[in-house]
Structure 1
Amino acid sequence: MHLTTARRSARLAAIGILAAGALVLSACTGAPEPAPTTSGKPDPDATLTVGLVLEPTNLDIRHTSGAALEQVLVDNIYEGLLARTQDNKIEERLASSYNVSPDGLVYTFTLNPDVTFHDGAAMTSADVVASYETVKTDASVQGNAQFTGVTAITAPDAATVEIALAQPDQNFLFNLTGPGGLVFKKGDATDLKTAENGTGPFTLKRWTKGSSITFDRYDEYWGEKATLSEVVFQYIPDFTAGVNAALDGTVDVLTAVDPNLVSQLEDSGEFKITNGRTTDKATLAFNNTKAPLDDKRVREALRLAIDHEALVEAVGAGETLYGPIPELDPGYEDLSELVPFDPDKAKKLLKEAGHEKLDLTLTIPSFYGTTVAQVLISDFAKVGVSLEVNRVEFPAWLEDVYTNHDYELSFVLHVEPRDFSNFANPDYYFDYDNPKVQKLYEQSQLELDPQKSADLLKKAARIVSEDHAADWLYNGATLTAHVPGVSGFPQDSINSRINLAGVTKTAD
């Protein structure tokens, strides 16, 4: 990519340490000592404790968006007809097989037998139809926009579901791997904000708000039963506290390890560290309709002012990214030539726009730490832009930035795969409205050939980057630490979901 081989090798061998208050990464060059191994057998009565950063505000995945819900509930508690592998490939789940008509308009799914909900009721095609009809007709349900092209959802028999579309939709199968594709019991009165009734390999045992969520193995699961007896998701929003929890044995697995702290885990010799690929787009959002960011010259200047390679080194993990589509998604293209690091050109553009001196505010969720904001403050100051950082709790970010579009600049990790549609939606919080991009995106979804669809997305993504609708600071990597007795814990894409069905833990 855009980092030198030496930089990449050093980063993958051992993540460096960020000196207190400094922005320059001091990279370690030696490989970490390997974690001790164990030859013990998986313990069917084991409890696995997983450290996570972001706790859901409620458990209603039907009506609440956000990666915090998908991360723990999809695949573990709830399932859809289809599922998603770590590298974003589609695979069957509640459906044993599926068929798509040659014209791309009719999808036929055959259901796996003997599937039950956690209350013991058998799942049939009637539950699938009811679930998907709700998605289609209720605008408050997650996935509703993805079902606008659905004309009919029928059940020829108890084990078959047919879905008809008005026009082809290249992303329809993939959309079924998301919240909109989950299957719920028909007529169920469960309060999904605090309880559940899914079909997955785990059940909800308890939720201690502000602390943890606990799952139990569902022993009547229709598929291969989970090996773990219990899973505890421990929510630790402070990255240093998370490392301390791992070191003192509070958690067996720590996700989203801060790269600047990972050496503490490596030096202990008690953990295995994995570096996983993601579709996480560390996005510097511009409010495209709010002055002075409604001026393309200002947006371009801000992007040119950022030393992206140095920022990636400061963050300590990931790769540079100069467009809205990451490498794991269809339509990726290296767009680095559009915004080379050029502070002089940035100052020239700001002067042309009448903003030789400019004050801007960056609104950022408080749990993201300080590194990105510090780099931006430093880089922007060199071109005459003073950046004030407004740190807010995540619910406030959702209300002010995401919902009310009340911001100038913002920073957040967009972890959802194949989410380019955000830039084809003028109502999204970016407030970016380009009819040509919207048309190309529409064409890409109508195209039956996956490669031709990806080519259309590539064209649209280039336009978005040329418009400087946002800046993509980096494509995130996910660092995970676990004790040697844990096997099978997912490595890639775990910021969007953590499938624990195949995870094992040996007896202590």
Structure 2
Amino acid sequence: MTKRLTGFPASFQRGFTRGFHRAAAAGLLAAVLAVPGAAALVTAPAMAQETPVRGGMLNSIVQPEPPTLMLGLNQQAPTQTVAGKIYQGLLTYDQKLNPLPSLAESWTISPDGLTYTFKLFQNVKWHDGKPFTAKDVVFSTSKFLMEVHPRARAAFSRCESITAVDDHTVEFKLKEPFPAFIQAFEVSSAPMVPAHIYEGTEFRSNPANATPIGTGPFKLKEWVKGSYIQLVRNEDYYKKDLPYLDGITFRVIPDAASRSLALESGQVHQTQYSDLEPFEVPRMKAMSHLTMTTAGYEFVAPLSWLEINHRVKPLDDKRFRKAIAYAIDRKFIRDKIWFGLGRIPTGPINSVVKFYDPNVTTYGPDLAKAKALLDEMGLKPDAKGVRATVKIMPMPYGETWTRLGEYLKQSLSKVGIAVVLESTDAAGWNQRVSNWDYEITTNFVYQYGDPALGVARTYLSSNIRKGVMFSNTMGYSNPRVDELFAAASRENDPVKRQEQYSEVQSILADELPVVWLLEMEFPTFLDKRVKNANKTAIGVNDTYEDVWLAK
């Protein structure tokens, strides 16, 4: 019998019966997997092995297909997952967001917080055999990324100088303290690129962008557009006996039901991010040959919200935004729409990110409080019970976001807020939100390990930039918030930083520039034969240098 959620429109209930879709997808999947290494895998779990085994191809999914594998030019999630095996940053981070070696074997920070010195691993080579040196680091951070990578530009523009002390030592001198700087060296934030390939060229049109050359444990062998991307072992990798895998094949499977079937049948070893719709997660968790984890996303720390355009009345009134917050049940959203994936947020900083403070105003479901706020605004119900009408444009990224839009329409109607749902495609959504042509939309952003890197950008009045996505597209402005974010970004004392970030969280929780919905958790499913995956805060985007397959 089909499970139904009472009190919601039929369109909200679509998708709970998946058997037909999985069966229909079987034929498509057979064609999709007709690529190297696609032989069906035995679904029974193998006995755990303590000693790593060398060899074997890891099969994973990449969805959607990346536009490029040149990570410096594109940082979308699919690009990061594939290109994180090809390129490397100076650092990676553990799941508590502490820095770990990657291309840098050690580093020091001066007592005044102005000088960061990195010692590089020696004997590192680019995939074309040329040596990787401090010159490549200086070029990457002072020229290449400054031109093409907005997030890296924001970090490295704070440098007074970037100097190669010798072939394996790089010194960054800051203009003023910026304690978040140590979080700026992860592979998607600052991928190292070869100076001998890019120096003196037009970076965006360099032919090498089609055949990326990195230092990582895997090299690009073949990319059949619309079908698969195959990486193979870098035999000259600087770490002895690594990587263990012969290679990794990333399969492009656009159909959600086919992705589920590929994992279920053992045709792929791994899925990540939003490869699976949340309603598939409980069924997959019950499968004996799979393990699931939500670890490995601490660095990105995704936080979703209702993004509200403050230029539109009555959305500019915080009482109206609070009424929306009281009218929705975020536990229902987590448990029934995201099927238990996620945590209930309290404010603008994800609870896994440094300087999070839970001691702020929170909003549980309370229809009486919502109606009282609307009454206070003078928004009385008409003959049909409608106080105000708003337009909500859900993110066009799968069925779950559509369901969320339908839930919001149903919930807000209970307090007299009528909702008109608007649909669009990904390009249209990006264009409309970035150009402020919306009333309410759903959105989520990454926080990158420190509020100065991934939180402040949403609320700073200096970041109200028309046409720029993931900026302060709401148009929110509060001089005290600007002041606190600026002060905290350059404060070396962590106790004082906490005080500043606590105050800013308190202000934002009261003013609700957005209505926070969910600290999102992405499920990573792994065949039980996959060993050593998901050990860091960047999880599936890490190098996979020591991941191996049990026999």
Q: Percent identity?
A: 27
1:90-118 C-alpha deviation (Å, 9 max, x unpaired): 11221121111111111111111001111
Q: What residue in structure 2 maps to residue 350 of structure 1?
A: 374
- 1:241 and 2:272 aligned: no
Q: CA deviation at 1:66?
A: 2.9
Q: CA deviation at 1:398?
A: 2.9
Q: CA deviation at 1:492?
A: 7.0
Q: CA deviation at 1:293?
A: 2.1
Seen in structure 2, the aligned counterparts of structure 1 residues 368 and 61 have a Cα distance that, compared at 3 Å, is: farther
Q: What residue in structure 1 maps to residue 134 of structure 2?
A: 125
Question: Residues of 1 paired with 2:390 and 2:114: CA distance?
Answer: 51
Seen in structure 2, the aligned counterparts of structure 1 residues 431 and 166 have a Cα distance that, compared at 3 Å, is: same
Over the residues paired in the alignment, what is the CA RMSD in angstroms? 2.9
Q: 1:260 aligns with which of 271, 274, 279?
A: 279
Amino acid at match of 2:282: S
1:265-287 C-alpha deviation (Å, 9 max, x unpaired): 24443322234364121222112
Q: CA deviation at 1:36?
A: 3.4
Q: What residue in structure 2 maps to residue 250 of structure 1?
A: 267
- Map 1:3-42; keep pairs closer than 5 Å: 36-39=45-48
Amino acid at match of 1:363: P
Seen in structure 2, the aligned counterparts of structure 1 residues 166 and 209 have a Cα distance that, compared at 3 Å, is: same
Q: CA deviation at 1:478?
A: 2.4
Q: What residue in structure 1 maps to residue 28 of structure 2?
A: none
Q: Is the contact between residue 533 and residue 540 of structure 2 (CA under 8 Å) also seen in structure 1?
A: no
Question: Residues of 2 paired with 1:191 and 1:313: CA distance?
Answer: 47
Q: What residue in structure 2 maps to residue 270 of structure 1?
A: 289
Q: What residue in structure 1 maps to residue 404 of structure 2?
A: 372
Amino acid at match of 2:532: G
Seen in structure 2, the aligned counterparts of structure 1 residues 235 and 349 have a Cα distance that, compared at 3 Å, is: farther
Q: 1:420 aligns with which of 433, 446, 455?
A: 455
1:346-383 C-alpha deviation (Å, 9 max, x unpaired): 23333444551213122312325233223222211212
| TM-score (ref. length: structure 2) | 0.80
Q: CA deviation at 1:141?
A: 5.0
Question: Residues of 2 paired with 1:494 and 1:391: CA distance?
Answer: 32
Please list every run of at least 4 consecutive aligned residues from structure 1 whose deviation after the TM superposition is greater than 4 angstroms.
17-24, 39-43, 139-142, 491-496
Question: Residues of 1 paired with 2:399 and 2:143: CA distance?
Answer: 35
Seen in structure 2, the aligned counterparts of structure 1 residues 385 and 258 have a Cα distance that, compared at 3 Å, is: same
1:56-102 C-alpha deviation (Å, 9 max, x unpaired): 3333322334333223323x211122222234221122112111111
Q: 1:218 aligns with which of 219, 224, 234?
A: 234
Q: CA deviation at 1:120?
A: 0.8
- 1:297 and 2:319 aligned: yes
Q: What residue in structure 2 maps to residue 6 of structure 1?
A: none
Amino acid at match of 2:352: L
Say which is worse superposed, 425-434 or 131-140, in terms of deviation: 131-140
SS in 1 for 2:515: strand
Q: Is the contact between residue 305 and residue 443 of structure 2 (CA under 8 Å) also seen in structure 1?
A: yes
Q: What residue in structure 1 maps to residue 215 of structure 2?
A: 199
Q: What residue in structure 1 maps to residue 182 of structure 2?
A: 173
1:450-473 C-alpha deviation (Å, 9 max, x unpaired): 343233222212222211111221
Amino acid at match of 2:67: T
SS in 2 for 1:283: strand
Amino acid at match of 2:511: D
Q: What residue in structure 2 maps to residue 10 of structure 1?
A: none
Q: What residue in structure 1 maps to residue 346 of structure 2?
A: 322
Seen in structure 2, the aligned counterparts of structure 1 residues 416 and 391 have a Cα distance that, compared at 3 Å, is: farther
1:1-37 C-alpha deviation (Å, 9 max, x unpaired): xxxxxxxxxxxxxxxx87686679x9xxxxxxx9734
Q: What residue in structure 2 maps to residue 474 of structure 1?
A: 518
Q: CA deviation at 1:220?
A: 0.7
Question: Residues of 2 paired with 1:352 and 1:121: CA distance?
Answer: 69
Amino acid at match of 2:514: A
Q: 1:148 aligns with which of 154, 157, 173?
A: 157
1:220-264 C-alpha deviation (Å, 9 max, x unpaired): 111251111111222445443321121233211122443421233
Q: What residue in structure 1 maps to residue 80 of structure 2?
A: 70
Seen in structure 2, the aligned counterparts of structure 1 residues 334 and 482 have a Cα distance that, compared at 3 Å, is: same
1:193-237 C-alpha deviation (Å, 9 max, x unpaired): 432111111112233333433221211111251111111222445
Seen in structure 2, the aligned counterparts of structure 1 residues 463 and 242 have a Cα distance that, compared at 3 Å, is: same
- 1:310 and 2:332 aligned: yes
| TM-score (ref. length: structure 1) | 0.86
Q: What residue in structure 2 maps to residue 159 of structure 1?
A: 168
Seen in structure 2, the aligned counterparts of structure 1 residues 70 and 462 have a Cα distance that, compared at 3 Å, is: farther
Q: What residue in structure 2 maps to residue 79 of structure 1?
A: 88
Q: 2:534 aligns with which of 484, 490, 502?
A: 490
Question: Residues of 1 paired with 2:4 and 2:69: CA distance?
Answer: 36
Q: What residue in structure 2 maps to residue 397 of structure 1?
A: 429
Amino acid at match of 2:354: P
Question: Residues of 1 paired with 2:73 and 2:101: CA distance?
Answer: 24
Q: What residue in structure 2 maps to residue 338 of structure 1?
A: 362
Question: Residues of 2 paired with 1:484 and 1:496: CA distance?
Answer: 15
Seen in structure 2, the aligned counterparts of structure 1 residues 173 and 206 have a Cα distance that, compared at 3 Å, is: same
- 1:384 and 2:431 aligned: no
Amino acid at match of 1:405: W
Q: Is the contact between residue 23 and residue 374 of structure 1 (CA under 8 Å) also seen in structure 2?
A: no
Q: CA deviation at 1:440?
A: 0.9
Structure 1: gaps of 5 or more residues:
1-16, 27-33
Question: Residues of 2 paired with 1:84 and 1:191: CA distance?
Answer: 32
Q: CA deviation at 1:139?
A: 6.3
Q: What residue in structure 1 maps to residue 547 of structure 2?
A: 503
Aligned length: 483
